[in-house]
Amino acid sequence: MPTRKNANQDKEVRSVLGRNLLELRKAHRLTQDEVAKIIKVKRSTYAYYERDIVPSLENIKRLSRLFDVTVHFLLYGHEEPVYGMPRVLNDPSAITSDIHKLKDVKKDEALVLSYYRLLDKQNKEKLLKELLDLYEKQFL
């Protein structure tokens, strides 16, 4: 049976997770529907994640890759302590990729980059090669 302390900690984790998901999604210019499709859940399910329902471990991992943050940051709002010194990050943009900071990035470009982040290293390399080939055909 969970103790009061554990129940309060669980509630705090859910609160931080929901807030982080909302802020990261907006920073990456994605809708709930787009994030849901990317991680392969219903939009209503993802909406629950932003309202403090904890996703499965697999979906937490997918969300962490999508938003380019650690699982620890998603759950607790800060990075794990390094050599005993906590590195608290109140600004999610401090550890996300710089793509959402670029004002000229269009919605469709942000969506493509979101999918790209979920690829493994081999498929990322393959996709980059194909993009370079397309670029050369069009401009060179």
Give the model confidence (pLDDT) of 88-112 as tens digits: 333 444 434 444 455 566 777 777 8
Residue 73 has pLDDT above 60, yes or no: yes
Residue with the bigger pLDDT between 140 and 117: it is 117
What pLDDT shows up at residue 10? Answer: 58
Question: How many structural domains comprise the chain?
Answer: 1
Buried b (16+ CB within 10 A) or exposed e, 40-71: ebeeeebbebbeeeebeeebbebbbbbbbbee
Q: How far apart are CA 68 and CA 65, in angstroms?
A: 5
pTM of the model: 0.59
Give the model confidence (pLDDT) of 1-59 as tens digits: 444 445 555 566 677 889 889 989 988 889 999 999 999 999 999 999 998 788 999 99
What pLDDT shows up at residue 77? Answer: 76
Q: What is the CATH number of the domain that holds 114?
A: 1.10.260.40
Q: How far apart are CA 76 and CA 72, in angstroms?
A: 6
What pLDDT shows up at residue 35? Answer: 94
Residue 70: which domain range? 4-139
